[in-house]
Amino acid sequence: MATTLVIFGASGDLTSRKLVPALYQLFRKKRLPEKTQVVGFSRTKFSDEDWQHELAESTAKFVGDDFDAELWRQFASMIHYQPGDIKEPEDFEALHRRLHELEESSDVTRVYYLSTAPRFYKPAIERIGACGLADEVNGPRRIVIEKPFGRDAESAHDLNEAVHGVFKERQVYRIDHYLGKETVQNMLVLRFANTIFEPVWNRNYIDHVQITVAEEVTVGRRGEFYDQTGVLRDMFQNHLLQLLMTTAMEAPVRFEAEAVRDEKVKVLRAISPLLPEAVASDTLRGQYRGYLDTPGVAEGSQTATFAAVKLAVDNWRWQGVPFYLRSGKAMSCRTTQIVIQFRNPPTMVFSNGSVDTCQANRLVIQIQPAEGIQLHFQTKVPDQGMRLRLTDLDFDFNREFSGVMPEAYERLLLDAFQGDASLFARSDEVELAWGIIDPILSAWESTSDPPLDMYEPELWGPERAVEWMHAQGRQWFDTCPVLS
């Protein structure tokens, strides 16, 4: 069956930076379904050739050495452009006609990709519905929706209603690109294709879990967007909670969309949203120095660019095990990691009895950029009596499978073409995730507790974050990964 991908918001940054490079890579690896066509739709008045020309330059830049001019020429012949405005019904009619022309009435899987500004999601969906583009007349119709999916639980619910007015849930693919990362999928493999971790993956052995998504970059040119968004909406509601779900979920009966998503949703249901008093004690917020000088940022803005949040997953497996989530811009280095900090041995027989949690076993799952896994354990230092030192077993994806780490969007696009929604968020999942974030956002808006701490760029966030962990007898694992 033929496949057509229609990208709304085609002239935007995401299309040139991520989507088209991912499609080109799939083409290069011969993974695109037969008879694939890509149709861009946005207001810029491009011809097919103009758009192909622009994309050639950006793709060459983003895929680096994998760019091959001859291969690009073959790939570019699949790329078309239809100028149009989401607000204009007749532009959708024209798009409909163009699709018919290109598809020559063969059976076709058609995937609509919403890569526009979020305020256009609802009108675009309604127009798609109104002109019959969602009707599954000669093959499946699917819609991929980029993040952010709403600004809070209520707007996410409204958007879900609009989506369900036109598409059935099985046709909807809500993207969180973190789920397309190989190392995030590998978390499921690590847990559920091995037997040695599962027996200790619970409150009996684990002291706490730390999930860090640190970015070295600042807000850069996205000042206006970011200032209205902040770190909780930008990173926590989606990426960090996805990592938490992957770490905490039970084994699904099989690796299938509904089974996987049912288990993830159970984790969210087990997290009680924080009450205002708990927001004051269990969250931290910060803003890097220099943020206020960013173009587009409001004067005196109180938007947080750093946050740390302590959540409890109240179920049998995780009762009493805190999950510390932290993310920030302008941090020491770029690293996304999940740290499983195990408990201390009950007594320390090899020294004068002092037991330090930070020295207990630790499993570090490096999601990026130094993709890998390290298991830390105590070892006897040779020839020094019974002196011990923490050492590690180190698995490095790059060393083991050199050069095959694909971009997240390759996997996600392919899954959307093939109708596998396992790595996409379901409607209840996004609403429940907002239900965890909303109370923090509203407490932050209405009180000054916790205060907004300033932090110096290139550190690990505000000093208070360090003290906060120490006060709980714990310590952040602040290590920049070593790239091999």
Q: What residue ranges bind ligand BG6 (CB under 6 A)?
A: 147, 215, 234, 336
CB of 441 to ligand BG6, least distance (A): 16
470 is catalytic: no
Give least dist CB 21 to ligand BG6, A.
14
Residue 172: beta bridge partners?
A: 143
Identify which of residues 229 and 391 has a Cβ nearer to ligand BG6 in the complex: 229
CA distance 390 to 344: 13
Angle at 25 between CA 149 and CA 222, to 5 degrees: 40
Smallest separation (angstroms) from ligand BG6 to the CB of 427: 20
Shortest approach of ligand BG6 to residue 336 CB, angstroms? 6
Shortest Å distance, C-beta 90 to ligand BG6: 33
* Least Å from the CB of residue 187 to ligand BG6: 15
Nearer Cβ to ligand BG6 (171/336): 336
Which position among 53, 239, 376, 470 bears the catalytic label?
Answer: 239
Q: What is the number of the residue whose Cβ is closest to ligand BG6?
A: 234
Taking the least distance from each CB to ligand BG6, the nearer of 229 and 378 is: 229
3-class SS letters over the chain: CEEEEEEECCCCHHHHHHHHHHHHHHHHCCCCCCCEEEEEEECCCCCHHHHHHHHHHHHHHHHHHHCCHHHHHHHHCCEEEEECCCCCHHHHHHHHHHHHHHHCCCCEEEEEEECCCHHHHHHHHHHHHHCCCCCCCCCCEEEEECCCCCCCHHHHHHHHHHHHCCCCHHHEEECCHHHHCHHHHHHHHHHHCCCCCHHHCCCCCEEEEEEEEECCCCCHHHHHHHHCCHHHHHHHHHHHHHHHHHHHCCCCCCCCHHHHHHHHHHHHHCECCCCHHHHHHHEEEEEECCHHHCCCCCCCCCCCCEEEEEEEECCCCCCCCEEEEEEECCECCCEEEEEEEECCCCCCCCCCCCCCHHHCCEEEEEEECCCEEEEEEEEECCCECECEEEEEEEEEHHHHCCCCCCCHHHHHHHHHHHCCCCCCECHHHHHHHHHHHHHHHHHHHHCCCCCEEEECCCECCCHHHHHHHHHCCCCCCCCCCCCC
| CB-nearer residue toward ligand BG6: 59 or 305 | 305
Given the complex with ligand BG6, which of 29 and 221 has the nearer CB atom?
221
Cβ–Cβ under 8 Å, residues 468 and 307: no
Residue 91 or 234: the one with the smaller Cβ distance to ligand BG6 is 234
Distance (Å, rounded) from C-alpha 267 to C-alpha 250? 8
d(CA 426, CA 429): 5
Report the nearest approach of ligand BG6 to the CB of residue 361 (Å): 27
C-beta closer to ligand BG6: residue 460 or 468: 460
- Structure tokens that stand for 62 in this block: 């983003």
Residues in the chain, overall count: 484
Active site residues: 239
